[in-house]
Homo-oligomer: A and B are copies of this chain.
Amino acid sequence: MATRADWEQKALSEVAAGGLARLAIPALARSLGVTKGSFYWHFQNLRQLVGSALRRWEEMDRDALDEVHEIADPRRRLIALFRDAMHKRQAHALYVALSAADAAEVRSSLRRINRRRLRFLIEAYRELGFPPKKARDRATLAYAAYVGALHLRYQNSGALRRNDDLDGFVAHSVETLIP
C-alpha cells in the first residue's frame, strides 16, 4: 500500500535525479511495491502527480526563503541567498530540471516561486535604500544572475560545475550586485 505522499516524494527524487523525462509510472510503482494500476486510484494522471509533488516542493522552497529572511541585515541576507545557490544541490537541481517543462502545473509553480524570490530581492534592495524602480531593476538583474548560475552549475553543461573558484565568483558577484 502506497500513500499519495509516497508517490509524491518518489516523484520528486526521481525528477531531481534524472529530470522530468525519466519520470515513469511503472518505475515508481515498482519501487513502491505496487502495480502501476494502483497509481490511478491516487491520481488522475501523471500531470496531477507532478502538480501535487510540486506543491510540496514550493513549501520547501518557501521555508528556505523564510529562513534566510530572518537575517536582519539586507546585505548579509542577499549574500546568504547567493551562497546557498551554489551549495544546495538537491533543492536547486529540481528547479533546473523543471524549468523547461511545458505542463501547465509546472509552469504555475515556477511562476509562483519566481515571483516570491523576486519580491524577496526587491524588498532587500529597498531596505538598502534603492528607490522603487531601481530596486526592481537591480533585483531582476540579481535574480537573473541567480537563475543563470543555478543552470550553469546544476545542468551538467555549464561553466560553474567545478568547486574551485566558486567562493571567488560568489564574492565578486556580491561585490558587483550589492553596493
Contact = CB atoms under 8 A, between A and B. Distances in A.
A92 interface: no
Interface of A: 18-22, 96-102, 106-111, 114-115, 118, 133-134, 137-138, 140-141, 143-152, 155-160, 165, 168-169, 172-173, 176-177
25 contacts: A18-B102, A19-B101, A19-B102, A22-B102, A99-B151, A107-B155, A109-B157, A110-B155, A110-B158, A111-B158, A114-B158, A114-B159, A118-B159, A133-B165, A133-B168, A137-B165, A137-B173, A138-B176, A141-B173, A143-B152, A144-B144, A144-B146, A144-B149, A147-B147, A147-B151
A18 B103 CA distance: 11
Contacts of A176: 138, 141, 176-177
- Please classify the interface of chain A as helix (H, G, I), strand (E, B), loop, or mixed, using the class held by over half of its residues: helix
Given A137-B168, A148-B143, A159-B114, A100 B98 contact: yes
A77 to B, nearest CB: 19
Contact of A107 (B100, B102, B148, B156): B156
Nearest to A98: B100
A123 to B, nearest CB: 15
Copies in the complex: 2
Contacts of A146: 144, 148
Given A19-B102, A106-B157, A144-B144, 10 more contacts: A21-B21, A21-B101, A97-B100, A99-B100, A100-B100, A100-B155, A107-B155, A110-B155, A133-B168, A144-B160
A160 B173 contact: no
A172 B145 CA distance: 14
Contact of A148 (B100, B148, B155): B148
